[in-house]
Each structure stands twice: as structure tokens, then as C-alpha cells.
């Protein structure tokens, strides 16, 4: 009971900033509302419109594609950096940890504008480097699949929070397990694949769920500032469609329907990894 006062600011903030807006969006999802007059209840009218909204469902497909590409890359970078920098000490390790976390400290808009320069087909350093190496330029901002690749690159490297969690999970593994493997003559590869990664697996799965949510939502800023949803709607993500419906067309009621739908779809995508993480954690506790 003594812990509740400590949690009170977080709980109050969550109610005011998350639950209350979510409840309001759920109510507005069943109305026509343009912000100038009172909402008009329409029942399931917005849901009927949603079922035939090809633009939104295509955008959901684009968001899903970005998630499938970006989430494994983010996990690979975060977990790989954690494995590399967990046990070592010294200035180089400190610099490496700072470098892994640094991109996450940059505001999303500034990060997107930086990549807009990096990917620029006329004077961007990445297309110039590919040209100098004799490699084809995928057209990061000018072709549909090149733009999707560019959007994936923008979202891959901000893994600071996941890196910190993975680093803590790696450090928490008892050192005597790896010492026993060394005494028995086991290789580093054996230790990583049979001990380290299995023990980290529940945390990695939770990070995967977290990254699914982050990638779906945070794709809005680079899709708006770097590609503007183009070319040919190739990078038109679901959050960008919702933004345009709400703030360009003023359809706040229908945008609420899209927001709640996207929330439900994201929750469905997160159920299986969370269930699998719980199963793995329970199995580890049983073995312990």
C-alpha cells in the first residue's frame, strides 16, 4: 500500500494524457464532427465508410511492411550492441554506449530533416557514396520502393531505449554460467546461442512489441517530412492518413474512427509476442 503514493503521479498523468483522450476518441468515432459545431451521432456510419476506405487499408499495409522491415533491424542493432558492450570496460565502451543511445536523444523532426539531406538524390551523401562505389542508386526519395527503403533507414537507428533495456538484460545474466561454459571448453558462439540469447528472449520479445508500437506511430514524422507519403502513396502510412483526415480535411469524427481502428490493429499485432514472452518467462522460472 505504501507504493501507491509513489505511483500516483504516473497514474494520474496516464489517465489525463492517455485514457481520457482515448475515451473521447472512442465516443467521437461514432459521430460526424468537424470542430465547429456539436458532434452529430451517426451510429455505425463511420464503420461502414471505413470498410470501403481503400486509402486507409492500403496505408495500413504500408505501415505493416515498414514494421516487418524495421523492427527486426532495430532489435538486431539494440541486442547486438548490448552483447558487444555489456562486459567490457573502459573509455571505448563508454563511447560505444553513448553512440548507441545518442540518436534517440535527437528530436524526431530534426532526425527526419537530417535524413532528408542524407537521402537527397542531388547532393545527399548516401546516393553520392553509392555512386562512388559503383552501386545502383535505389532512388531513396524518387521511386516507390526506394522511398520505402529510405523510410526504413530513417527509423532503424534510434534504438537507444531498446539498447538500454537489452544491455540491462545481458548484464543481469549471472557470470558464473559463462565461466562454467569456458571451463568445459565451450565456444563463445555456444555460450551466446545456448545461454545468453535464450535467457534474454523474453525481454527481446517485449522489446519487439514495444518497437511495433513505436514504429507504427513514429513513422508519421519521417513520412510527413521526408517523403510526404510519396511517391505514388508508397510511404503513405496509417498515422499520416489519420493526420490528413483530421487536420487537412477537418473530419475529426472519422479520424477518431481511424485512430481507434489502428489502435486495435496494433494491439492485435502485439498479442502473440507478449503471449510468447510470458510463456518463455514462465518456462525459465520453472527450470530455475
SS3 call for 40: strand
pTM of the predicted structure, to 2 decimals? 0.87
Nearest Cα neighbor of 54 from 236, 193, 198 is: 236
Q: Say which residue the cell 477537418 belongs to.
A: 250
pLDDT digit string, tens, across residues 223-256: 999 999 989 999 999 999 999 999 999 999 999 9
pLDDT of residue 229: 92
Which portions of the chain are predicted below pLDDT 70? 1-3, 88, 284-285, 287-288
Topology of the domain comprising 45-287: MetI-like fold (1.10.3720)
Any alpha helices (H) in the chain, and if so which ranges?
4-14, 20-28, 45-51, 54-85, 91-101, 108-118, 125-132, 144-156, 160-171, 175-183, 188-191, 197-218, 220-222, 238-243, 252-287
What is the rounded distance in angstroms from the CA atom of residue 82 to the CA atom of residue 97?
A: 8
Amino acid at each position: 500500500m505504501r507504493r501507491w503514493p509513489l505511483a500516483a503521479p504516473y497514474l494520474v498523468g496516464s489517465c489525463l494524457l492517455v485514457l481520457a483522450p482515448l475515451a473521447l476518441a472512442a465516443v467521437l468515432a461514432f459521430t460526424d464532427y468537424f470542430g465547429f459545431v456539436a458532434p452529430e451521432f451517426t451510429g455505425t456510419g463511420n464503420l461502414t465508410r471505413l470498410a470501403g476506405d481503400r486509402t486507409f487499408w492500403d496505408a495500413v499495409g504500408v505501415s505493416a511492411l515498414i514494421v516487418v522491415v524495421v523492427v527486426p533491424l532495430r532489435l538486431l542493432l539494440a541486442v547486438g550492441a548490448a552483447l558487444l558492450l555489456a562486459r567490457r570496460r573502459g573509455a571505448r565502451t563508454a563511447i560505444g554506449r553513448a553512440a548507441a543511445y545518442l540518436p534517440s536523444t535527437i528530436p524526431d523532426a530534426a532526425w527526419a530533416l537530417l535524413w532528408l539531406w542524407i537521402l537527397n538524390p542531388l547532393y545527399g551523401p548516401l546516393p553520392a557514396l553509392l555512386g562512388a562505389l559503383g552501386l545502383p542508386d535505389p532512388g531513396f526519395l524518387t521511386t516507390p520502393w526506394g522511398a520505402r527503403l529510405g523510410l526504413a533507414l530513417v527509423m532503424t537507428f534510434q534504438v537507444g531505449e531498446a539498447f538500454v533495456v537489452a544491455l540491462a538484460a545481458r548484464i543481469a545474466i549471472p557470470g558464473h554460467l559463462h565461466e562454467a561454459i569456458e571451463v568445459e571448453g565451450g565456444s563463445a558462439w555456444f555460450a551466446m546461442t545456448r545461454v545468453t540469447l535464450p535467457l534474454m528472449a523474453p525481454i527481446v520479445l517485449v522489446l519487439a512489441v514495444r518497437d511495433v508500437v513505436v514504429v507504427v506511430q513514429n513513422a508519421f514524422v519521417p513520412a510527413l517530412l521526408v517523403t510526404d507519403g510519396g511517391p505514388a502513396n508508397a510511404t503513405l502510412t496509417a498515422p499520416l492518413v489519420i493526420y490528413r483526415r483530421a487536420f487537412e480535411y477537418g473530419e475529426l469524427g472519422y479520424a477518431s474512427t481511424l485512430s481507434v481502428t489502428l489502435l486495435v490493429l496494433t494491439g492485435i499485432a502485439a498479442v502473440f509476442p507478449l503471449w510468447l514472452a510470458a510463456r518463455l518467462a514462465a518456462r525459465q522460472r520453472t527450470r530455475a
